[in-house]
A = this chain, B = another copy of it.
Amino acid sequence: DSDEFFPGIPVIPYSPDASPDNVLCFRHYNPTQVVMGRSMADWLRFSACFWHSFRGTGADPFGFPTINRPWDDGTDTIENAKRRLRAGFEFFTKMGLKYWTFHDRDIAPMGDTLEQTNKNLDEMTDLALELQNKTGVKLLWATCNLFAHPMYSNGASTSPDAHVFAMAGAQVKKGLEVAKKLGAEGFVFWGGREGYQTLLNTDVRRELDHMGAFFKMVVAYKKKIGFTGQLLIEPKPKEPTKHQYDYDAQTVISFLKTYGLDTDFKLNIEPNHTTLAGHGHEHDVVVASKFGMLGSIDSNTGSPDLGWDTDQFPMEIKNTTLIMKAIIEQGGLAPGGLNFDCKVRRESIDLQDLFIAHIGAMDSFARGLMCAVELFNQGVMEKCVKDRYSSYDSGIGSSIENGKASLEQLEEYIKANGFPTPTSGQQEMYEVLFNNALKY
């Protein structure tokens, strides 16, 4: 096929017994394999990220672009944009990815006016819709890029300039329309510049009030046009700003509750952001999930010794197991998914690297799923945790949980029963139980 963008690379097969030097096959991810009542594909709902994999250049703060794709002539034309999009869908298809995600500005060039810009987006989303229909690949979520253009350098909805706020609103209006057109299952807001570089020039309260006002308009417009996808906010603590208002899961929940938005939004959690906020890899996934706020996951990883967002492909079985454990506990992630918000290293310049990276990540998550399932099947850890809290299932514990206890009653209880005796937390035993389930 002369229109093939990845000649010589076939649809990636599932070959669990391939020889060690074969890195272009899945060893663990078998989409149709059923575990705990669902197919692997259903549990994992993998999604490719258009911006990293088809717009990434390998440039970094100290280096020029390194990645040149044969189909990309470097121009900002519609023709080039279309080639990129076709290449993307060939990639999604060959990888067996059922979902994709994009920013508005990734897929269509900006024009000199809003009208021209939106027209470009219309033309490109026509093609996207065609390719979606042809391939069966669906849109996990769409998002607007409100951080890369210089106009947003001081923020979008938190810009000190109302003109910039208006621009962000106009852009998101179109973004919601496009999301609806393409059947997106969600719509994400990542507030890359919504924060401050220095408190000295910043009116924090006024900026957050503006951000609250912005999201209220979003909710209103979403309802007006009948877009039914889930609205999502993606927390990140810092970078590019010194402080990003959506610091972590709990900070965003605080914001949503402060402005009365907590029933309209859920969270899109990215573990590399979680670790930058000083938490363990799975922390925000777990916390968001337990409070009913986990909407989707940007499944990547970082290096814990680095203080910036490296957006690496998730390759650690321990981490993928912990994520999948949380997903199983909440009964699945739909309509969210595991979106690979990851980029190949800037030194990984070959086309093949793009495939290998996704294969490694998908196999790592398939292994994580199988390990988490093993953990549930063994059942030991689950039972231990349940036993650990069993004093709340009756007596004074039950009174505490159902809101009937008072400080006076607690005092009486201690007078009657004396001081409590410490019990072991058994962390090492839990770690051993966990390791013993890592069999895949």
Contact = CB atoms under 8 A, between A and B. Distances in A.
Q: Secondary structure at chain A's binding surface: helix, strand, loop or mixed?
A: helix
Interface stretch (A87-95, A123-131, A245-253): A245-253
Task: Name the residue among A113, A150, A388, A438 with the largest chain B CB count within 10 angstroms.
Answer: A150
A322 interface: yes
B429 A199 contact: no
Given A58-B150, A291-B205, A422-B349, A431 B160 contact: no
Interface in A376-431: 378-381, 384-385, 388-389, 391-392, 395-397, 400-401, 403, 405-408, 410-411, 413-415, 417-431
A170 B305 contact: no
A12 interface: no
Given A153-B347, A254-B253, A203 B389 contact: yes
A276 interface: yes
Contact of A428 (B283, B353, B429): B353
Contact of A407 (B62, B170, B363, B408): B170
Interface residues of A, number: 162
A172 interface: yes
**How many identical chains are in the complex?**
4
Interface in A200-223: 200-206, 208-210, 213-214, 216-218, 220-221
Contacts of A283: 199, 243
A197 B422 contact: no
Given A306-B307, A436-B20, A411 B251 contact: no
Interface in A294-332: 303-309, 313, 315-318, 322
A53 to B, nearest CB: 12
A73 interface: no
A197 to B, nearest CB: 6
A63 interface: yes
A423 B58 CA distance: 13
Interface string A150-170: 111110000011111111111
A308 B239 contact: yes
A74 interface: no
A69 interface: no
Contact of A282 (B27, B199, B205, B214): B199
**3 closest cross-chain pairs (CB), A and B:** A307-B307, A347-B425, A169-B410
Given A313-B428, A356-B429, 9 more contacts: A63-B240, A150-B422, A198-B430, A199-B282, A210-B392, A210-B400, A213-B405, A221-B408, A239-B308
18 contacts: A27-B436, A113-B418, A151-B422, A163-B417, A166-B396, A167-B410, A174-B411, A200-B430, A201-B388, A203-B388, A206-B389, A209-B401, A210-B400, A251-B254, A307-B308, A348-B426, A348-B428, A360-B432
